[in-house]
C-alpha cells in the first residue's frame, strides 16, 4: 500500500506537480439488523481505493479510483484538473513538519475475533430485554468498521493509521389504543467490543423501552421561549451544531457569525468550548488528519472569549493560525475539508440537582435528534423528551420533545450553570457537510434559554 | 463511460453458484460510476475532482437463509471471495419467512429516459466553467450577495443485476446536480441563508435561473422580520414537504415497517388517511427523474401505482420477500439507497427496504399565487429545517426562505420562526394542492411535489 502511494507521488512530480498528497483507505464493515426477532439484514464488505491531490500552477486538482491498476490515469486526471482551472486564486505549498508514524486506535477486543453467531446472539439478547406489555416492534442494530488509512505527501510525511468504530442502537415501539410511541438508545465509540462490555446492549435496550413507555400518551412539549437544562447528548449537539460549525475556518472566512470576533466575548464566562483530536474512546478520534497534520486541542471559546478556529493547511497559512489537524475526508473519494472531531463544553461546578433547583420553571431536555446550523449562528436540533421543571423541582410530568432553536451565541450568553459531570454522548450519528464524518460531542449539562418549537 | 465486463463476471459467478444444489438463489448487483464535481466557496472556485468507483454486492439465499457481502473493485477473484463470504453468512443465519431473490421478466428500458451522453462526456473544464457561470450570475444579481457554497456534480453510471431467476440486465444512467447556498450581507447584517438545487438525469437544468432565484431570495432575506406567535395556515412547497410529508409517508407504506408493526398505517389499507383532494403515487418511469428506474434493487420491474388515492390508502410497497410474506405480488420497490452518502443505488446496500421509487403528488392547475390567496393569516414556507418522528407524525423545526401571509398577500420575509404539528393529522385536513413542482432529494429518494396548503399549525417565534 505505501509503495503504491509513493508511486503516485513520484508520478505526480514527473507530470509537473510541485506538491502532492496520496491517500489510501480500506474500510471493512459488518452490520446486523434484527427486527422483531428476525434478522432483516446481515452484511459484511470491504471498500477500498486511492486518491491524489496535486498542486499545479498554484491550483489544486483531485482524483480518486477504486482500481489500483488505474493509478497513472488517476494522477493524470488530477493534473489535468489543476491545469484546467482558470480561477485567480493561488495556492502556496504549505510549510509543514513531516511525520513518519504508524498509529492505531486502542482496541482491546477486536470485533473481527467475534463470529457472526456471537453478534447475532448479542442482538437476540438485546431484543429479549425490550419485550414487555404493549411492545409492538423492536429493532436492534449492531455495526463495526475498521479503517486502514495510508497517507504520503511530497514533503516526506508517511502515515499508517488504523481506526475502529463499534456501535449498537436499540429502538422500541410501544402501541396503545392505536397510538405508537418510539424510544431510542445507543452506545458508540472508537474501539472494539469493549465499548459494548462497558455499556451492554441489554442495558441500552432497556433504556429504549423505558423511553417509549415514558412517552406513551405524553403530549408534545409546550412551545415558546423557555429556560432549559440540556442533557449531555444535547450539550454535544449545542457545542457541535450550534457553535462548532461557525468556528470552522472555511465557514468563518466566508462570513460566519464568528468572523472578526477573535478576542471578543461572545458567550457566558462559564463557557469553555473545545474541539479535541481524542477524548477517551469518543467517536471523533483523529490523531492525524487527512493532510498529515498532527491534531491539537482547539479552545474555540475560553471563558466566554472567542479564542481559536479549526482549520486546514491552506487556511492556517492564510489566516496566520497554527495548523489544527481538522482536515478530514470520509472516503478515498473525498477531498479533505475542515470537520470537527470531539467537541465539548468543559464541565462546571453544579450538580444535576443544583441545576434543577436553581431553575424556577422550565424543562430538562433529554435525547438528541438531528440538527442543522447556518453560518449566522441560527441553529436547530431535535430533542426526544422534555421533563417539566416547576419551582426548582422535576414535577414528574413528561412531554414528547420538539426541535429547539435560537442564535447559538445568544444561547451561550444565557448560560448560567454547567454541570460537573462530564460525558461525551453524541457518537452514534454522523455530521454531514457535503460528506459524512464520524464526530462526537458532549460536556457538562448546561442551563440556558432557547426557543422550543412545540405546540 | 466505456462498456465494462462486470456483467460477464457476474454471470460467471451466478452460473457457478446456482448449480450448487442447496442454493435457492444468487443475485449480484454491480455498479461503475464516474463522478465529476466542482465546488465554489466564499465567492470563488474552491475544488474540482474526478473519481471512478466500481463494486458489487452479492446476495445468496440457501434453504431460506440469506447472506450479503460486498466489495469495491472488479475482478473474478474478488467476486468469488465475496460470494464465499455471503454464503458463509447465509449458512450462519436463521431462516427468514418468505425470503427470495427477485428478478421477474418483462422489463422494458429506454436508455434515453435516464441517460444523457452530454453528461457522460463532461470534462473538468466544462464543469469548472459551469460553476463559474453559477457564481457570476448569482453575484450579478446584487452586490450584497455572498455565494457561500456552490456544488456542481455530474455523474455517469453503469449498473446492473444478474440473478439466478434468469435476469441479466445492465443500464446506463446519468445525474446532474447543481446546488447553490447563498446569503446577502449589508453592513453587519447577514440575511437568512438560501439553499437552491435541482436534480435531473439530463443536462437540462437552467443553471442561470437557479443562480438568479437563489440570489434573489437571499437579497429578499435581508428584509426578514420576526413574526408574532400564532396558529395559522401554512403553505409548504415541495422542498419543505420532503422531510415533513414524503419521508413519513414513505416510512408508513414500507411493507417491512408494516410487517414489523412500526408503521402508523399498518391497519389502514383501504381506509381514509388523508383529505380527499390528496393523491400520492409512485411514478418510477418519470422522465429525467434521478430516482426513476425500469427495475428495482432486486430486478423486479418498477410499477406506476397509486399509494394514496383521493385520500384512501391503496397499497403498501414491497420487496420480493415482504410480498411473499403478505402473499401478494412484488411491487418493484426494493431499494438500495445509501442514505449516508446520498447514493440512490449503492452496491454496498442489500435490497431489503421497500420504499416508493419516485413519490409524486399529481399537480392541479392552481398556481402558488392561487394558494397564497386562500390564506387569511399564515406562512408560505420554501424550506424546513427540523425533525419528524415517522412513527407518530410529530414534527417541529425552523422555517427557512419563508414569508408571512395576510389576507391572501405575501407581506414580508420572516426569520427565527418555528412550526410544529402532526403530519398524519395535517394530511387529513389538506386544503389545497398546487400546480407548481419541486423535485427535492430526501431520505428515501427523489420526490416530485407541488405545494400544499395545510390547516392551522402552531407557529412560534424567537
Instruction: Give the DSSP H/E element, type plus range, for residue B236.
Output: strand B230-236
Segment B99-131, tens digit of pLDDT: 999 886 656 566 656 899 999 999 999 999 999
Report pLDDT for B5.
85
Please judge whether B69 and A137 are an interchain contact, meaning their C-beta atoms are less than 8 angstroms apart.
Answer: no
Give B384's Cβ-side CA count (13 Å radius). Answer: 32
Chain B residue numbers touching A380 (CB-CB < 8 A): 385-386, 397-398, 418
A369–B contact, CB cutoff 8 A: yes
CB of A382 within 8 Å of a chain B CB? The answer is yes
Tell me which residue has cell 471563558.
A303
Chain B residues within an 8 Å CB radius of A260:
none
H helix runs in B309-367, sequence order? 320-326
Distance to chain B for A342, nearest Cα, Å: 20
Whether pTM exceeds 0.90 = yes
Query: pLDDT, tens digit, for every residue of B379-409?
Result: 999 999 999 999 999 999 999 999 999 999 9
pLDDT digits (tens, 9 = 90+) for B228-257: 899 999 999 999 999 999 999 999 999 999
A 403-422: CB under 8 A from B: 403, 405-407
At residue B4 the predicted structure's pLDDT band, cuts being 50, 70 and 90, is: low
Report pLDDT digits (tens) over B136-154.
Answer: 999 999 999 989 899 999 9
Smallest CA–CA distance, residue A197 to chain B, in Å, is: 24
Q: Mark yes or no for CB contact A139/B260 under 8 Å.
A: yes
Q: What is the pLDDT of residues A253-276, one digit of tens each?
A: 887 889 899 999 999 999 999 999
pLDDT surpasses 80 at B440: yes
| A 59-98 → B contacts, CB under 8 A | 60-68, 70, 77-78, 80-81, 84-89
Task: Tell me whether A103 touches chain B (CB under 8 Å).
Answer: no
Instruction: Specify whether the CB–CB gap between A391 and A363 falls below 8 A.
Output: no
At A209-256, the pLDDT tens digits run 999 999 999 999 998 899 999 999 999 999 999 899 999 999 888 878
Rounded to a whole number of angstroms, the distance from the CA of B40 to the nearest CA of chain A is 10
Cβ burial of B270 (10 Å; 0-12, 13-18, 19+) is: exposed
Q: Are A382 and B389 in contact, with CB atoms under 8 Å apart?
A: no
| pLDDT above 90 (res A325) | yes
CB contact under 8 A, A376 and B193: yes
Q: Report the residue of B385, B414, B417, B422 to disrupt the A interface, i.e. the one with the largest count of A CBs within 10 Å.
A: B385
Nearest neighbour of A41 by CB, restricted to B85, B352, B460: B352
Interface probe with B: pick from A41, A58, A66, most Cβ of B within 10 Å: A66
**Average pLDDT, rounded, for chain B:** 93
Please check whether residue A245 is in contact with residue A378, taking contact to mean a CB–CB distance below 8 angstroms.
Answer: no
In angstroms, the separation between the Cα of residue A263 and the nearest Cα of chain B is 18
Label residue B286 by pLDDT band (50, 70, 90): confident
> Using a CB-CB distance cutoff of 8 angstroms, which residues of chain A are in contact with residue B93?
39, 42, 116, 120
pLDDT band at B432 (very low <50, low <70, confident <90, very high): very high
A78-131 tens-digit pLDDT? 999 999 998 886 787 777 889 999 999 999 999 999 999 999 999 999 999 999
User: In whole angstroms, what is the distance from residue B180 CA to residue B131 CA?
Assistant: 10
Q: Is the pLDDT of residue A184 over 80?
A: yes
Amino acid at each position: 500500500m505505501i509503495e503504491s502511494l509513493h508511486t503516485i507521488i513520484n508520478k505526480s512530480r514527473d507530470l509537473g506537480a510541485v506538491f502532492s498528497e496520496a491517500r489510501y483507505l480500506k474500510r471493512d464493515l459488518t452490520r446486523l439488523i434484527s427486527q422483531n426477532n428476525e434478522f432483516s439484514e446481515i452484511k459484511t464488505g470491504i471498500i477500498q481505493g486511492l486518491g491524489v491531490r496535486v498542486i499545479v500552477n498554484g491550483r489544486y486538482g483531485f482524483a480518486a479510483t477504486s482500481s489500483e491498476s488505474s493509478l497513472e490515469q488517476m494522477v493524470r486526471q488530477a493534473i489535468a484538473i489543476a491545469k484546467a482551472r482558470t480561477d485567480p486564486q493561488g495556492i502556496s505549498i504549505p510549510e509543514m513538519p513531516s511525520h513518519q508514524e504508524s498509529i492505531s486506535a486502542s482496541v482491546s477486543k477486536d470485533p473481527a475475533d467475534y463470529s457472526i453467531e456471537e453478534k447475532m446472539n448479542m442482538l437476540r439478547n438485546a431484543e429479549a430485554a425490550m419485550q414487555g406489555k404493549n411492545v409492538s416492534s423492536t429493532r436492534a442494530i449492531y455495526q463495526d468498521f475498521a479503517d486502514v488509512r495510508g497517507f504520503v505527501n511530497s514533503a516526506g510525511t508517511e502515515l499508517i493509521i488504523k481506526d475502529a468504530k463499534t456501535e449498537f442502537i436499540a429502538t422500541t415501539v410501544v402501541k396503545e389504543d392505536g397510538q405508537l410511541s418510539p424510544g431510542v438508545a445507543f452506545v458508540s465509540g472508537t474501539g472494539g467490543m469493549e465499548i459494548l462490555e462497558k455499556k451492554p446492549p441489554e442495558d441500552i435496550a432497556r433504556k429504549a423501552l423505558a423511553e417509549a413507555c415514558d412517552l406513551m400518551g405524553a403530549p408534545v412539549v409546550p412551545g415558546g421561549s423557555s429556560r432549559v437544562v440540556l442533557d449531555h447528548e444535547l450539550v454535544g449537539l449545542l457545542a457541535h451544531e450550534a457553535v462548532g460549525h461557525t468556528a470552522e475556518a472555511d465557514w468563518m472566512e466566508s462570513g460566519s457569525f464568528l468572523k472578526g470576533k477573535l478576542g471578543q466575548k461572545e458567550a457566558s464566562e462559564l463557557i469553555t468550548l473545545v474541539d479535541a483530536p481524542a477524548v477517551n474512546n469518543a467517536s471523533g478520534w483523529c490523531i492525524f488528519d487527512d493532510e498529515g497534520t498532527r491534531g491539537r486541542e482547539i479552545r474555540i471559546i475560553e471563558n466566554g472569549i472567542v479564542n481559536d478556529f479549526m482549520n486546514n493547511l491552506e487556511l492556517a497559512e492564510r489566516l496566520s493560525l497554527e495548523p489544527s489537524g481538522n482536515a478530514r475526508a470520509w472516503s478515498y473519494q473525498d477531498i479533505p475539508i475542515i470537520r470537527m472531531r470531539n467537541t465539548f463544553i468543559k464541565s462546571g461546578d453544579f450538580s444535576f440537582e443544583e441545576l434543577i433547583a436553581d431553575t424556577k420553571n422550565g424543562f430538562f431536555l433529554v435525547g438528541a435528534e438531528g440538527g442543522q446550523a447556518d453560518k449566522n449562528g441560527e441553529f436547530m436540533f431535535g430533542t426526544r423528551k422534555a421533563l417539566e421543571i416547576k419551582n426548582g423541582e422535576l414535577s414528574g410530568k413528561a412531554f414528547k420533545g420538539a426541535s429547539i432553536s435560537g442564535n447559538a451565541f445568544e444561547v451561550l450568553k444565557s448560560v448560567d450553570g454547567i454541570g460537573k459531570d462530564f460525558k461525551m454522548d453524541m457518537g452514534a450519528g454522523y455530521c454531514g457537510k457535503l460528506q459524512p464524518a464520524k464526530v462526537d460531542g458532549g460536556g457538562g449539562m448546561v442551563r440556558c434559554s432557547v426557543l422550543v418549537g412545540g405546540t | 463511460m466505456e462498456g465494462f465486463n462486470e456483467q460477464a463476471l457476474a454471470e460467471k459467478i451466478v452460473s457457478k453458484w446456482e448449480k450448487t444444489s442447496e442454493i435457492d438463489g444468487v443475485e449480484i448487483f454491480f455498479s461503475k460510476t464516474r463522478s465529476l464535481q466542482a465546488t465554489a466557496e466564499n465567492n470563488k472556485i474552491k475544488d474540482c475532482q474526478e473519481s471512478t468507483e466500481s463494486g458489487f454486492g452479492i446476495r445468496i439465499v440457501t434453504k431460506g437463509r440469506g447472506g450479503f457481502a460486498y466489495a469495491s473493485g472488479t475482478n473474478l477473484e474478488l467476486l468469488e471471495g465475496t460470494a464465499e463470504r455471503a454464503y458463509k453468512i447465509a449458512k450462519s443465519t436463521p431462516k427468514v419467512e418468505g425470503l427470495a431473490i427477485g428478478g421477474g421478466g418483462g422489463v422494458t428500458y429506454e436508455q434515453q429516459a435516464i441517460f444523457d451522453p452530454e453528461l457522460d462526456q463532461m470534462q473538468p473544464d466544462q464543469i469548472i466553467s459551469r460553476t463559474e457561470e453559477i457564481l457570476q450570475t448569482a453575484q450579478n444579481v446584487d452586490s450584497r450577495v455572498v455565494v457561500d457554497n456552490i456544488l456542481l456534480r455530474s455523474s455517469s453510471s453503469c449498473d446492473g443485476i444478474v440473478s439466478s431467476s434468469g435476469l441479466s440486465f445492465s443500464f446506463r444512467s446519468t445525474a446532474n446536480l447543481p446546488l447553490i447556498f447563498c446569503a446577502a450581507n449589508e453592513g453587519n447584517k447577514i440575511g437568512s441563508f438560501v439553499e437552491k438545487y435541482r436534480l435531473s438525469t439530463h443536462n437540462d437544468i437552467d443553471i442561470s435561473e437557479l443562480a438568479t432565484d437563489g440570489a434573489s431570495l437571499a437579497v429578499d432575506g435581508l428584509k426578514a422580520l420576526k413574526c408574532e406567535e400564532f396558529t395559522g395556515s401554512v403553505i409548504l412547497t415541495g422542498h419543505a414537504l420532503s422531510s415533513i410529508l414524503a419521508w413519513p409517508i414513505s416510512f408508513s407504506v414500507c411493507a417491512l415497517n408494516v410487517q414489523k408493526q412500526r408503521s402508523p398505517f399498518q391497519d389502514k389499507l383501504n381506509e381514509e388517511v388523508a383529505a380527499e383532494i390528496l393523491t400520492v403515487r409512485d411514478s418510477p418511469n418519470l422522465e429525467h427523474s434521478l430516482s426513476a428506474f425500469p427495475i428495482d434493487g432486486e430486478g423486479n420491474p418498477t410499477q406506476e401505482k397509486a399509494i394514496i388515492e383521493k385520500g384512501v390508502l391503496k397499497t403498501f410497497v414491497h420487496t420480493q420477500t415482504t410480498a411473499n410474506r403478505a402473499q401478494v405480488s412484488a411491487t418493484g420497490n426494493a431499494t438500495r439507497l445509501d442514505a449516508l452518502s446520498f447514493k440512490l443505488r449503492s452496491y454496498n446496500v442489500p435490497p431489503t427496504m421497500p420504499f416508493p421509487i419516485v413519490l409524486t403528488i399529481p399537480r392541479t392547475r392552481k398556481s402558488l399565487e392561487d394558494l397564497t390567496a386562500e390564506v387569511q393569516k399564515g406562512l408560505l414556507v420554501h424550506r424546513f429545517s427540523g425533525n419528524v418522528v415517522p412513527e407518530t407524525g410529530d414534527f417541529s423545526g425552523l422555517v427557512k426562505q419563508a414569508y408571512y401571509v395576510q389576507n391572501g398577500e405575501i407581506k414580508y420575509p420572516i426569520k427565527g420562526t418555528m412550526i410544529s404539528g402532526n403530519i398524519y393529522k395535517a394530511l387529513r385536513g389538506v386544503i389545497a394542492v398546487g400546480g407548481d413542482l419541486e423535485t427535492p432529494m430526501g431520505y428515501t429518494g427523489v420526490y416530485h411535489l407541488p405545494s400544499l396548503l395545510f390547516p392551522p399549525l402552531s407557529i412560534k417565534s424567537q
